[in-house]
Each structure stands twice: as structure tokens, then as C-alpha cells.
Amino acid sequence: MRAERMAVNGMASQAAVEWPFALIEMPGDLESVRAGLARAMRSAPLARLGPEDRGRAEILLAEVLNNIAEHACCGSGAGIRLLLRLEPARLCLVVEDDGVAMPSGALPAGELPDAASLPEGGFGWFLIRSLAREISYLRDGKTNRLGIVMDCEQ
Amino acid sequence: MSLQSEKQADTLVIRVEEDRIDAAGAIRFKEGMRDLIAERSARVILDLSRVNFLDSSGLGAVVAVMKLLAPERRLELAGLTPTVEKVFRLTRMDSVFTIHAAVDQGLSHAG
């Protein structure tokens, strides 16, 4: 836990010099995620994006944060830390939580549900995988850490 | 979840008066819609022109409402804003709904 904090802070001081950076912390429940996402959308990295990229980033972030709230934190009181950094032509995200690990330690395949069967769920990871260029997942002690890169036009 | 319902001839037009239909509000949206669609009508048009954001939970709730109306009625959508339209398009769910540019076009359309 302490090591991760230091890693986060180190990343902040390095990146702030050249690229817009934001660290947003929120409790891991759906109402708090809604408020945290609103703060993220106002933060320097996302405020600089054009409308198209902002829309894509908002969908991507909503799906990632909602999934963490529902499946990792799930009422345990575990919080979520979101790091945003805008680099040339790409948005880099690190999302950490201290909730339960991803089942089998791997990311869901995120296959597109068949529209004709009128699915009411199962779209989340499909959307994440559609919008992200790179996704990595690491279980580090008691922490889940997702690294996500989204291409943007800026 | 603020929903405004209005009967226009044989069509029930329901306008979502919220900025977003997301995971935190999806259940309230579904419950509110369930109450409103109890009113008899030949058609139901959901006006999404004030909704700037919809996530996969919101999408699931819209699909659930479509299923509540079946088999007698279908859910038609109108006024999709860019990010909402993107979610429907990426998930291919735009293929299962009749989507009108705006409510007026929907009303003049045969359904």
C-alpha cells in the first residue's frame, strides 16, 4: 500500500512538468463513482480533449469505475484511485482499488452480446476493449491496478 | 429520475429530464418507466434529447423497458445526443430500436 502511494506520487511530480495530470480518489460505490467521474471530466487532462475524445473517455471511465464499484469494492468500503495523464495523442489511465481480485486474475474477454437476444448487460468490458488501445491488469498485494491507454486526436 | 410523459394522439412520448442514465440511476429509470408505460398507447417514443450520457447499465435499462413493452408494443427512441448515440452504435443496439432524429420526426413516422 505504501509502496503504491509512493509510486503514484512519483508519477505525479514527474508528469506534471510536461503533461496535464490529475489524481482523483473516490469511495467505491456507484453514487460516489458518478461524482468522481464528474470531477475527472473537469480535471486538466480531460478538459483539454475535444468533444469526441471527451465522450469516448467518459464512456471508458464510467465502465471501468462502475465495474470496480460493482465487482471489486462491492460494498466493502474499499476506495478507488484514478490517475489521469494526457500525453501527446493519448490518454493514460491508472485505476487502483483495494477490492477483491479479478476472477482467475485475468481481464474479461468482453465479447459483444448478440443484439437480437436483447441483452440487458454484458456490454461493459466490450465497450472498454472497444475504446482502449492497451489494457493491463496487475494484482499487487491487496491492490488491483489497471493500466489503460486511449488514443485521442486532441 | 425525472421523466415527463405526454400523450400525443395514440403515442406516448416520454422525455427523460436528466443529464444522464448511468449505473447509479438505471434502476430508478426502469422503475419510473414501468409506471409510465402502464398507460395504454399504440406507440411509445422515448425522448433522449436531454440525456448527454448513457453507460452500459443505462443501455441495459432501456433494453429492459423495451422487453416490458413486448410483444404488443415496441420502444422507439428519439433525439440521441452524440455520446449516447455512440454507445448504441458501438454495441450494435442501434439495430434493434427504431431511432428517430427527434420526437417530431417520430410522430410523423408510421412507427
Instruction: Note whether residue B64 is domain-resident.
Output: yes
- Give, in order, the Cα–Cα distances in Å from B39 to each of B6, B17, B34, B98: 10, 19, 10, 21
- Other beta carbons within 10 Å of B33: 25
Q: State residue A6's pLDDT score.
A: 47
- Mean pLDDT for chain B? 96
Mean pLDDT score across all residues of chain A:
90
Check if the beta carbon of residue A82 is closer than 8 Å to that of residue A24: yes
CB atoms within 10 A of CB A66: 22
pLDDT digits 0-9 by tens, A100-110: 999 988 999 99
DSSP structure class, residue A96 = E
B91 vs A33, A62, A123: nearest CB: A123
pLDDT value of residue A104: 87
Nearest to B58 by CA among B25, B86, B90, B91: B25
Given B55, B91, B93, which is nearest A62 (Cβ)? B55
Q: What is the pLDDT of residues A39-92, one digit of tens each?
A: 999 999 999 999 999 999 999 999 999 999 999 998 888 999 999 999 999 999
- The answer to whether A153 and A53 have CB atoms below 8 angstroms apart is yes
| Buried b / exposed e along A93-113 (16+ C-beta atoms within 10 A) | bbbbbbbeebeeeeebebebb
CATH of the domain at B32: 3.30.750.24
Residues of B in contact with A119 (CB under 8 A): 60, 63
Using 50, 70 and 90 to split pLDDT, how confident is the model at A3?
A: very low
Name the residue among A148, A32, A131 with its Cα closest to residue A83. Answer: A148
Contact A82, A120 (CB under 8 A): no
Write down the ipTM of this complex.
Answer: 0.94
**What total of structural domains would you count in chain B?**
1
- Domain membership of residue B61 (yes or no) is yes
**Structural domain range at position B83:** 3-104
Domains and CATH numbers, chain A: 26-151 (3.30.565.10)
The burial class, CB within 10 Å (0-12 / 13-18 / 19+), for A33 is buried
Query: Which of the four pLDDT bands, split at 50, 70 and 90, describes residue A13?
Result: low
Q: Do the chains contact at B87 and A52, CB–CB below 8 Å?
A: no
Decide if B110 is inside a domain: no
